[in-house]
């Protein structure tokens, strides 16, 4: 993918916002960005979105955050997949005083 430099409507460079959000900017750039986003609402919104992306990426890099919920989900799923004990029935004809009758009996397992 070709890297493109994007200027925001206010003229500020989106790259600068990204660099600061990803904590890859030097102190001067950090200062410039924070000064700008205090005054520019549009850039403040863009910066906030990149910060939330960064948080998601950080969380994804930590397997501990995933391991525990995954374990719990697996346990719940296993419980649901356990089959309920089935009642086995068999049917047969038997003669009674009144008539032939079909009876269902519970067959011991
Ligand atoms: Zn701006």
Lowest mean pLDDT among 14-23, 53-62, 82-91: 82-91
Q: Reduced to 3 states, what is the DSSP secondary structure of residue 67?
A: helix
- Cα of 106 to ligand 1 centre, how many Å? 77
- Cα of 45 to ligand 1 centre, how many Å? 9
Those residues whose beta carbon sits under 5 angstroms from the ion ligand 1 are 10, 12, 40, 43
Whole-number Å distance between alpha carbons of 93 and 64 = 61
Residue 1: which pLDDT band, with cuts at 50, 70 and 90?
A: very low
First to last CA, the chain: 64
Longest dimension (CA), the chain: 101
**pLDDT at 69 (0 to 100):** 84
């Amino acid at each position: 993918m070709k890297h493109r430099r994007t200027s925001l409507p206010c003229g500020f460079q989106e790259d600068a916002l990204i660099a600061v959000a990803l904590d890859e900017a030097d102190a001067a750039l950090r200062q410039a960005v924070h000064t700008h986003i205090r005054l520019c609402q549009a850039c403040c919104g863009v910066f906030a979105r990149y910060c939330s992306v960064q948080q998601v990426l950080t969380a994804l890099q930590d397997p501990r955050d995933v391991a525990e919920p995954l374990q719990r989900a697996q346990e719940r799923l296993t419980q649901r997949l356990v089959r309920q004990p089935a009642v086995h029935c068999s049917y047969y004809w038997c003669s009674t005083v009144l008539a032939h009758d079909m009876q269902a009996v519970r067959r011991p397992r």
